[in-house]
Structure 1
Amino acid sequence: MFRWHQGDPGDPAELLAGFLADNGLPVRNLGRTGDQDRPIGDGEICGAALYVSADAGSVMAGGAPGAPTPVPVVPDVYAVVYAHGAPVAPSPASGPWSLGPWRESWSRDEHAEAVQRVRAAIGRGDVYQVNVVGHASAPYRGDPAAALRRVAGLAGARYGGVLAGDGWAMATASPETLVEVRDGRVITRPIKGTRPATEAGRRELLASAKERAEHVMIVDLERNDLARLPGTGPVRVDELFAVREWSGLWQAESVVSAPLDGAVGLAALLRAVCPGGSVTGAPKLAALRQIAALEPVGRGVSMGALGWLGHDHLDLGLSIRTVATDGDRVHVWAGGGITIDSDPIAEVDEAAAKSAPVRAALRGPTVRS
């Protein structure tokens, strides 16, 4: 098991890669993952679950640190290796669970004011786009396990799962691929643009010049992230602005990829793609400075990376639609990308629409005492 917290010594990308390499995983040349097709015997390491927070991603990218995390018990980088054939403990039966009232990190007016400040920064030429994220938390009583499993089971979750450590747990229902390496190719699938999953919502999303412009900016950023990674070949956009459904919402997704022509290591890949462009903005480092100045509460487990590294592939989801529990409270985050054409109230409403399915899954059946 590997843990790294903000403020710990060393380069988190290199320390993580070293830990995984010591456990026999192909992190020094990810292009070789497709060649690892030999059978893995019982007791051999078959892969690792990985988590990288948004704060750790900023450190890796050389960006400005954000506000302190509201869940400091959760490490900023966490990895657990698994052996083939090891018994997996069954999920224990959940006990009673009740959720208290939500406390928002900012009011609707404060969120709208942050959107206005981003628009002003864009007008000055400081940045082209910034993703603004809000946080909320609620006290709980009882066992959160069933609530976390409900979150992980939300419809449309490409990355649905639960990860836990000492005194904390997180669950994700993310639909978005931060980075995947498979069969000698590196892939990212940025998502930008949201509407209700109705026929009218789909037509509105497809017709929105604002949403398309925001989306294309992030696609260009992701193309640049992959292009500056040594060892990659020509970057291409395999699919642009495809509309897909996530838990009652339409969202626009693109697919960007490149061949791995040379040796590309995990540490270099994480530095190139973390934190994800669709949850930071463009240019990325300038957007991170705006985020650090605007958001009153840190992003915690959200807007980072969470997934799996095996001998034959790497697949990390962007930890949107992700929640955390710390023993006393449950935490959620949601936001959206701001451009010069953003309407502040519409942006506030969009963030609420994104968090609503997660909050409903957490609430579930309650037991009152």
Structure 2
Amino acid sequence: MRQIGPDGVDTLPLLTVVNVPAAPAGCRRTLVERARWEWRPADGGDPAVAAQEFLAAHGLPLDDLARPAAGHDPTGPCGAALYVSAAAGALLAGAPPGAATPTPALPDVAVVVYGHADARRVRPASPAAGPWRLGDWAESWTPAEHAAAVEAVREAIARGDVYQVNVVGHACARYAGDPLPALARLGALPGARYGGTLTGAGWAIGCASPETLVELTGGRLVTRPIKGTRPATAAGARELLASAKERAEHVMIVDLERNDLARVARTGTVRVDELFAVRRWCDLWQAESTVSAAVADGLGLADLLRAVCPGGSVTGAPKRAALDRIAALEPVGRGAGMGALGWVAPGRIDLGLTIRTAAADAERVHVWAGGGITWGSDPEAEVAEAAAKSAPVRAALAGR
């Protein structure tokens, strides 16, 4: 395990406005990093337990999420950023982590604890940091290889191995300049519920995710799975609403999420509050549902992470069997994509699923995109859908 002091690298000045997804809006101008912990598989141990213990040691007890939060101490911590990679989530689920990550500089779990500083000492982040150039994108697989993976999933469905598998591709591009302003642009994309950035020594993540992995407020857990995509036109909305294939795919994941929440909820409290609502992200319509449940007494953060990571909408059903297929089919690891990123504090958790997400290391910017594959999937259409999801992210990174 690595415990790292407040980060002082150029990409994250100590007193720059914090832009962590889901951080309290009223606090962002006064947040200052107090402590940091990062985990990689070579460190060993249980990262979910270690994260919970680290938070408790720094004044953020999350061992009983049903317990009302204590009164706020203005001198104490405000909360913490929490990042969990898809590979770490697979480990928590007892599944293989998949192919090697293309971003080894990134940790697989990061916890950054923030307190409040004098607002007069906090300077706004610069909107630009000099010239920026993004090179050509190099794909982790060709369209034909992506289509072949879709066919392999369909064959696994025909054998009865799985019902649905989410297949994800990766691309990277070399850059020159400071990547943080480019990554920060993602948060301005329309529909980016979890827009923001998280940085560390030699790495940075930018998020434009619209999807809630898990939220906890007022003793109630909420997840908002997204599954089903069409162009954001009137015809696209009608087609999405009328598609039996998209609705069946969506309902499978809603059922999976209901089961995930039931593992950590008070008995009999899981409910579907909204089913197959069509909402917009950039130039795409997407179908979203809302599932909620009352949190069980004594539930801690570690057990919650085990129940919901990795998210069902980016794995498939059954989740463990889908993770086995993903590990066998995807040639490149998911890195910062398809994980969790957001804010945790006593009485409040809000983690987004890191779809529509990019990451930077010292040399390259990386993006991931994919989609859920069912028996009714058309390989060429699935390849096109992944490209459509990735296009706004790549355009924002390029400054267009």
TM over 0.5: yes
Structural mapping, 1:207-246, within 5 Å: 207-229=242-264, 231=266, 233-246=268-281
The answer as to 2:176 corresponding to 1:144 is: no
Structural mapping, 1:124-203, within 5 Å: 124-203=159-238
Instruction: Report what 2:387 is aligned to.
Output: 352
**1:62 maps to which of 94, 101, 108:** 94
Distance (whole Å) between structure 1 residues aligned to residue 267 and residue 397 of structure 2: 41
Deviations 1:94-134 (CA, angstroms, capped at 9, x unpaired): 11100111000000000000000000000000000000000
Question: How far 1:89 sits from its partner (Å)?
Answer: 4.5
Paired residue total: 362
Instruction: Report what 2:325 is aligned to.
Output: 290
The answer as to 2:64 corresponding to 1:29 is: yes
Question: How far 1:233 sits from its partner (Å)?
Answer: 4.5
Distance (whole Å) between structure 2 residues aligned to residue 126 and residue 78 of structure 1: 34
Instruction: Report what 2:104 is aligned to.
Output: 72
Query: Is the 2:224–2:289 contact (alpha carbons within 8 Å) kept by the matching residues of 1?
Result: yes
Query: Is the 1:236–1:258 contact (alpha carbons within 8 Å) kept by the matching residues of 2?
Result: yes
Deviations 1:32-77 (CA, angstroms, capped at 9, x unpaired): 2xx3262331x31110001000000011111112001100100000
Q: Secondary structure at 2:79's aligned position in 1?
A: strand
Deviations 1:109-160 (CA, angstroms, capped at 9, x unpaired): 0000000000000000000000000000001111112211111211100000
Q: Aligned letter for 1:90? A: P
Query: Is the 2:65–2:346 contact (alpha carbons within 8 Å) kept by the matching residues of 1?
Result: no
Q: Aligned letter for 1:52? A: V
The answer as to 2:94 corresponding to 1:40 is: no
Q: Secondary structure at 1:3's aligned position in 2?
A: strand
Instruction: Report what 2:7 is aligned to.
Output: none
Question: How far 1:281 sits from its partner (Å)?
Answer: 0.2
Deviations 1:276-324 (CA, angstroms, capped at 9, x unpaired): 0000000000000000000000000000000001233100000000000
Instruction: Report what 2:33 is aligned to.
Output: none
Q: Secondary structure at 2:42's aligned position in 1?
A: coil
The answer as to 2:86 corresponding to 1:51 is: no
Query: Is the 2:265–2:294 contact (alpha carbons within 8 Å) kept by the matching residues of 1?
Result: no
Question: How far 1:263 sits from its partner (Å)?
Answer: 1.4
Distance (whole Å) between structure 2 residues aligned to residue 263 and residue 247 of structure 1: 40
Instruction: Report what 1:277 is aligned to.
Output: 312
Question: How far 1:84 sits from its partner (Å)?
Answer: 2.6
Q: Secondary structure at 2:303's aligned position in 1?
A: helix
Give the alignment's TM-score, normalised by structure 2.
Answer: 0.88
Instruction: Report what 1:9 is aligned to.
Output: 44
Query: Is the 1:64–1:285 contact (alpha carbons within 8 Å) kept by the matching residues of 2?
Result: no
Deviations 1:151-209 (CA, angstroms, capped at 9, x unpaired): 12111000000100001101000000000010000110000000000000000000000
Instruction: Report what 1:342 is aligned to.
Output: 377
Distance (whole Å) between structure 2 residues aligned to residue 45 and residue 89 of structure 1: 20
Percent of residue pairs bearing the same amino acid type: 67
The answer as to 2:136 corresponding to 1:91 is: no
Distance (whole Å) between structure 2 residues aligned to residue 140 and residue 94 of structure 1: 14
Q: Aligned letter for 1:51? A: Y
Query: Is the 2:264–2:296 contact (alpha carbons within 8 Å) kept by the matching residues of 1?
Result: no
Distance (whole Å) between structure 2 residues aligned to residue 58 and residue 8 of structure 1: 16
Q: Aligned letter for 1:334? A: A
Q: Aligned letter for 1:74? A: L
Query: Is the 2:225–2:290 contact (alpha carbons within 8 Å) kept by the matching residues of 1?
Result: yes
Distance (whole Å) between structure 1 residues aligned to residue 39 and residue 264 of structure 2: 24
Distance (whole Å) between structure 2 residues aligned to residue 17 and residue 245 of structure 1: 35
Distance (whole Å) between structure 2 residues aligned to residue 39 and residue 76 of structure 1: 30
The answer as to 2:288 corresponding to 1:253 is: yes
Query: Is the 1:6–1:55 contact (alpha carbons within 8 Å) kept by the matching residues of 2?
Result: no
Question: How far 1:22 sits from its partner (Å)?
Answer: 1.1
Structure 1 unmatched ranges of 5 or more: none
Distance (whole Å) between structure 1 residues aligned to residue 325 and residue 346 of structure 2: 38
- Check 1:211–1:231 CA distance in 2 against 1; reply closer, same or farther (3 A cut): same
Q: Secondary structure at 1:49's aligned position in 2?
A: strand
Moved over 6 A (4+): none
Question: How far 1:230 sits from its partner (Å)?
Answer: 5.9
Question: How far 1:90 sits from its partner (Å)?
Answer: 2.7
Distance (whole Å) between structure 2 residues aligned to residue 232 and residue 338 of structure 1: 32
Distance (whole Å) between structure 2 residues aligned to residue 197 and residue 316 of structure 1: 26
